Amino acid sequence: MSDKLIQLVDIPQRGDARGGLAVAELGGALPFPVRRVYWLFGTLPGVSRGFHAHKQLHQLCVCVAGSVRFTLFDGRREENVVLNSSAKGLLIGPGLWREMHDFSSDCILMVFADAEYDEADYIRSKEVFIASTHVA
């Protein structure tokens, strides 16, 4: 595992006089084949989301409107990052507990994942997650 929990990916921005055009390409900014795309929007004030880790899944999170704060936790250390730009993607690999806080009312958070939904890949108990990080 990398020393830093927060792994940000630059997303090329191809702006022109007609308006913004942000491009993220596999082999470029997207570091894996995308098997699932989903997005969060309309999150109510004060609501937090996430509160799980994955065993295998890799995800790239991009906040294309508004802002959101991510908290990542590897069982020992916790780091926070605010996503508020189409120009930065947050890479989240396996073995990281993630929480999303402080959604702005206009937040649209895109999530690109390298596998389809699989409930068996989730760790939804923080206690179980912490225990798993201290076994290996």
Residues that bind a copy of itself (CB under 8 A): 15, 17-27, 30, 33-44, 47, 49, 64-65, 86, 103, 106, 108, 110, 112, 116-117
49-54 and 59-65: which strand pairing? unpaired
Active site members: 52
- Distance, CA of 32 to CA of 120 (rounded, Å): 21
In this structure, are residues 20 and 13 in contact, taking their beta carbons and an 8 Å threshold? yes
CB of 93 to a copy of itself, least distance (A): 19
User: Which one, 5 or 112, has the nearer CB to a copy of itself?
Assistant: 112
User: Which one, 10 or 106, has the nearer CB to a copy of itself?
Assistant: 106
Closest-CA residue to 94 (of 64, 63, 115): 115
User: Which one, 36 or 74, has the nearer CB to a copy of itself?
Assistant: 36
